[in-house]
Amino acid sequence: MGVRDVIRQRGLFASLYTDWGSHYWYTPEAGGKVAKENPTPFGKAMARLGIEMIPASSPEARGRSERMFRTHQGRLPQELEIAGLRDITAANRHLDEVYRPVFNAEFMPPALEEGSAFVPWIGGKLDDFLCETFERVVSKDACVAFEGMALQVPKDRHRMHYMKVKVRVHCYPDGNLAVFHGPRCLARYDAQGQSIPLQLQVVA
């Protein structure tokens, strides 16, 4: 959600510097190096957007990240408690409207150069990039098997059929699904695999 909000508000960025969290990187051996050649679902999403991921490779760099986390963990819960906020929606609103602006004003140093390094997002439906993707093959009955469901691929005017064709299943944070063939979305479904009306959208 954080990456999506940044891209929507400011645009694409060139690189993302992270700690070694398991959602960012696979680490085959405890204490060993991250497996850059085996990206996590998050890493694959960044690659689709053209964003380079950079792991914090030294104890000092990782320590800076951990200190930042401790700062937020030490401040934000108390602020929410004082404000009497108990639900996620209200907490997120406080984070956007109050906490983040005040924190940035206190700690964010001025940029060395004027202008913005962000590139405006013009790539279509952002959620189709920031999701998990899985390769599947369409069966003879024009269905895609996914998580115990049979996702029916409807007929369209682009080809006679999709039997034995490799497709991608997109799994979104809200549980909804979609089936893509290349840049074209063939169908969308709810979390139970029921078809959702398709709007004309393609992914670059």
Residue 87 lies in a domain: yes
Residue 171 lies in a domain: yes
Confidence of residue 199 (pLDDT cuts 50, 70, 90): low
CB 34 within 8 A of CB 26: yes
Residue 115 lies in a domain: no
Structure tokens at 49: 């957007």
Residue 204 lies in a domain: no
> Domain limits at 175?
126-196
User: pLDDT (tens digit, 9 = 90+) per residue, 25-56?
Assistant: 988 887 778 888 899 999 999 999 999 999 88
Q: What is the Cα–Cα distance from 128 to 55, expressed in whole angstroms?
A: 25
Residue 179 lies in a domain: yes
Domain count for the chain: 2
Residues 81 and 41 placed together within one structural domain of the fold: yes
Residues 7 and 69 placed together within one structural domain of the fold: yes
Q: Of the candidates 14, 18, 47, 48, which has an alpha carbon nearest to the alpha carbon of residue 34?
A: 18
The overall pTM is greater than 0.85 = no
Residues 165 and 87 placed together within one structural domain of the fold: no
